[in-house]
Structure 1
Amino acid sequence: MRSLPSFPDLRAFLSWLEARGELARIAEPVSLRHEMTAVQLACLRRGGPALRFDRPQGARIPVVANLFGTRARVAAGLGLQPDEIAGFGEFLAALRSPAPVEGMRDAMSRWPMLRAALATRPRLLRHGPVQEEELPGLDSLPVQTPWPGDGGPLITWPVVLTRPQDSRTEDLTRYNLGVYRAQVLAPDRLILRWLAHRGGAAHHRSWARAGEPMPVAIALGADPALLLAAALPLPETVSELGFSGVLRGARSELVAAQTVPLMVPARAEVIVEGWVHPGETAPEGPFGDHTGYYNAVEPFPVMRVSRITCRSDPLYLSTVTGRPPDEPSVIGEVFNDLALPVIRAQIPEITDLWLPPAACSYRMAVVAIDKRYPGQARRVMMALWGMLPQFSYTKLVVVVDRDIDVRSWDDIAWAISTRMDPGRDVMLIDRTPMDYLDFASPVEGLAGKLGLDATTKIGAETAREWGRVMQLDPKHEARAEALLDAVLP
């Protein structure tokens, strides 16, 4: 399925980007406190390249940022051209729920799927590049303090590896990989901010119940497939390590950590190893978040660092989270397209879906359906809210007909203003799960949901004759374009 080469590590991806003019090196010193954030966001808003800061002030390790600042680079991280994203989403949906094989010809046509499945099995190495050298402490890393109101330096692109207490080191399918922000407390202390519904938090609870410290490893500067797999909202039964092999088109390479019983990415730039002890927490934050607001200070688990290994001449990968547009919102747009075939497999009448980045990438959804019966829009709303945990945080769903472009605010506004009646077409639900970062919620973790049925009303939905949409003959429109092309510059 890949049309681009496999990138075994971050360096291979950066070399590929640089050869295409998609990597810019900044030789001037740049402060890790706030100034680097300004440069990253300015570059992203221009649709600019990935950045390498060669001289971060107060540090010797270069910083890589804005890696996935454009849709094209997110696609490239998956090994794809931008126009291949939708097709890859169909492939991933088929890989999750393959249709029955019908004959030898059909079986042979499934070879790419079989090869992808085989790529999910990691390869175990005795030695890895990430263990070539050792760093004395976290203060050796060029960790940013992104926003002026932040509580301290924040690691923003960590891939955190954990496993449950009843597992073994070699039980790789039970590992969880998540991108959880990590506040630096001291050269040997981190705060890990994982929320209660995330896999890392579930593993933490299993170790705490047993009264044992939990082993944790943090990969910094992993390969693009592993980074994106860790960020994807995958079902709990799907291994991020295995799924990264599908994205990469090659098996993940792992090596045993040196001080904790975990396998870690052999080609990452840096591995931070350590332990989280039961009941040990520290106040985390405040930090600027994707909502555009600072989080409140709250207690989260502390990780005691036991060792930091790295490659020779390591790179440090960083990003900035803030009000969209930011790098996570760009990644989220691509994930939207990848997820659509999976969503359509569950709710077939959906023809398109858009999660507007400006709405924090998940707080609002605009859904187009092939409407066939009364009440269908409400059924789709309820199905979305109940289908995936991620949609439980979507507080506004707008359902439109398939003739509406869900990515056009003009189309959305027209559908709402001409096909939706506030007294009939509004669904309001109270006290449902909500991201506790939503300060608009009247109760932390609980909030309402709003559904707007902006579809054409049919059958029992209306007693009136519905209006007909005005349209010109496509032949006349084509003729008009041809005439204007001939007379206008």
Structure 2
Amino acid sequence: MRTLPEFPTLRRFLDWCAAEGELASIPDPVALRHQMTAVHRRVLEAGGPVLRFERPVDAEGAVLPVPVVTNLFGTTRRVAAGLGIAPEGLDALGAFLAALRTPEAPDGLRGALAQWPMLKAALSMRPRLLRHAPVQEEVLTGGDIDLARLPVPTHWPGDAGPLVTWPVVITRPRDSSADEVGRYNAGIYRAQVIGRDRLILRWLAHRGGAAHHRSWQQAGEAMPVAVVLGADPATLLSAALPLPETVSELSFSGVMNGRRPEMVPARTVPLMVPAGAEIVLEGRVAPQDTAPEGPFGDHTGYYNPAEPFPVMQLSALTRRRAPLYLSTYTGRPPDEPAIVGEVFNRLALPTIRAQIPEIRDLWLPPAACSYRIAVIAIEKRYPGQARRVMMALWGMLAQFSYTKMIVVVDADIDPRNWDDIAWALASRMDPARDVTVLKDTPMDYLDFASPEPGLAGKIGIDATTKIGAETHRIWGEVMRTAPEDAAFADELLRRVMPELMPGPGA
């Protein structure tokens, strides 16, 4: 499935980026407080390269010796590369991932050989356990731990303080053992630095880390946690994917990376951690130890209010001898999460179509906070079908539970083209007939437009051609240029006005 080299570590991926002309080093001193985010945002908005800040400056004006890497996934090409493919391979990878969720049983040897890529992927999901690892070249414990020595940025003027933004937070349920990596959860949960050896972990109640924490809370025990900084791209992206609860993100990274993930036992907690990472923070989360997290700038473009979340007490900090620190910012799109989300939406389409076959295409506009609005193109066959698709998306697929608006269009409309969408709304939708409004449905509590935190309405707009019992009028015929006339116009204009026309094959 991979068409690019393997990237078992962040460094190998950065080497590839450098060879592709997509890595820029910044030798000037840049403040971790606000300045670094300002530079990163300008470069991301311009579609620029990965940035390596060689001289990050802390709040006291000291230059820290750990370089900061940002904008890793600032373009869809680099997100695809992190998955091991070129952008044109995303559709095939999406189909592969859909098949991997519900693989058909091989029909004899021929069927097994035909499914070999899938079988190889399943084998790659088993981690390879090591005794020694680069991420444990240096081990700090006790009074030697000091998070202030890490170049953790403060991103926005209203932020409460330094915020870790690309951590892979590893947990496991209480009824598991350390070697059961298949039961681990690896999530991207932001972490606020509140002391030399303390972090606030912001996981929402429905996330895997929170579920694991509840299992330890019920027993009155502290939960072991490992926070991985500077993981390889496959692990980072697997931790961000909305995988089924039964699939371990760490194991699934083997499928993405085309090789078995390499793990090593943590030094002070009963967990396995990625051997090739840059830094690992080890510790425990007590059953009831919380602290107010935030406020911080969020993907909505607003600061979220301070709320209590669990506190992690560090017991060790392990790292490479000369580590890198990976960071990003979260804010009103465009940002890296929105760009990653665009790729993930494309990957998810075959899985969605497997459950709702009439869907032809789907777009979640990044400007709409990546998931608040969805535009769905369907192959319409019967009256009421658009409403059925809306309800299926809201009810069957958990990732759409926070989508507040769904617009359904016909297959002849490009759901990624606002002009097409506007035309469909203007010519195929009647507000009194084609608008569905729901009350009191689940919603992201960061949506300040909601009348109640976590509870809001939803709207569905049927902008499809009306058929059967949906209308009593004869529907109009869409105007289209005849193919032979379009071909004549193209040939003529290529001769007399070549500057207006793309060349053959363009």
**TM-score under structure 1 normalisation?**
0.99
1:129 counterpart = 2:138? no
Deviation (angstroms), 1:487: 2.1
1:60 corresponds to which of 46, 65, 71 = 65
Equivalent residues in 2 for 1:34-433 (5 A)? 34-57=34-57, 58=62, 59-135=64-140, 136-433=145-442
1:362 match: secondary structure: coil
2:224 partner amino acid = P
1:56 match: secondary structure: strand
1:461 corresponds to which of 465, 470, 483 = 470
1:271 partner amino acid = V
2:474 match: secondary structure: coil
CA distance in 2 between partners of 1:99 and 1:134 (Å): 46
1:55 match: secondary structure: strand
Structure 2 unaligned regions, length at least 5: 500-506
Match of 2:21 in 1: 21
Deviation (angstroms), 1:479: 2.2
1:70-117 per-residue CA deviation (whole Å, 9 max, x = no partner) reads 000000000000000011000111111112434433321111111111
CA distance in 1 between partners of 2:299 and 2:476 (Å): 41
2:296 match: secondary structure: coil
Structure 1 unaligned regions, length at least 5: none
CA distance in 2 between partners of 1:268 and 1:180 (Å): 17
Q: Percent identical across equivalent pairs?
A: 69
Deviation (angstroms), 1:166: 1.2
CA distance in 1 between partners of 2:43 and 2:223 (Å): 39
CA distance in 1 between partners of 2:471 and 2:105 (Å): 43
1:124-164 per-residue CA deviation (whole Å, 9 max, x = no partner) reads 11111100013532111100000000000000000000011
CA distance in 2 between partners of 1:172 and 1:103 (Å): 31
Deviation (angstroms), 1:388: 2.1
CA distance in 1 between partners of 2:316 and 2:256 (Å): 30
Deviation (angstroms), 1:389: 1.7
1:393 match: secondary structure: coil
CA distance in 1 between partners of 2:494 and 2:34 (Å): 49
CA distance in 2 between partners of 1:173 and 1:20 (Å): 35
1:78 partner amino acid = L
CA distance in 2 between partners of 1:134 and 1:27 (Å): 28
Q: What is the count of residue pairs matched by the alignment?
A: 489
CA distance in 2 between partners of 1:399 and 1:103 (Å): 42
Deviation (angstroms), 1:478: 2.4
CA distance in 1 between partners of 2:55 and 2:225 (Å): 30
* Structure 1 stretches of 4+ moved >4 Å: none
2:317 match: secondary structure: strand
Which stretch shows the higher mean deviation, 382-391 or 245-254?
382-391
CA distance in 1 between partners of 2:130 and 2:433 (Å): 62
CA distance in 1 between partners of 2:108 and 2:268 (Å): 51
1:453 match: secondary structure: strand
2:334 partner amino acid = P
1:30 match: secondary structure: strand
CA distance in 2 between partners of 1:475 and 1:120 (Å): 53
CA distance in 2 between partners of 1:182 and 1:475 (Å): 61
**TM-score under structure 2 normalisation?**
0.96
CA distance in 2 between partners of 1:388 and 1:161 (Å): 25
CA distance in 2 between partners of 1:206 and 1:79 (Å): 36
Match of 1:8 in 2: 8
CA distance in 1 between partners of 2:427 and 2:48 (Å): 39
1:54 match: secondary structure: strand
Match of 1:33 in 2: 33
1:246-277 per-residue CA deviation (whole Å, 9 max, x = no partner) reads 00000110000001110001100000001100
1:309-332 per-residue CA deviation (whole Å, 9 max, x = no partner) reads 001200000001100011110000
1:96 partner amino acid = R
1:439 counterpart = 2:448? yes
CA distance in 2 between partners of 1:425 and 1:248 (Å): 45
CA distance in 1 between partners of 2:317 and 2:484 (Å): 67
1:362 partner amino acid = Y
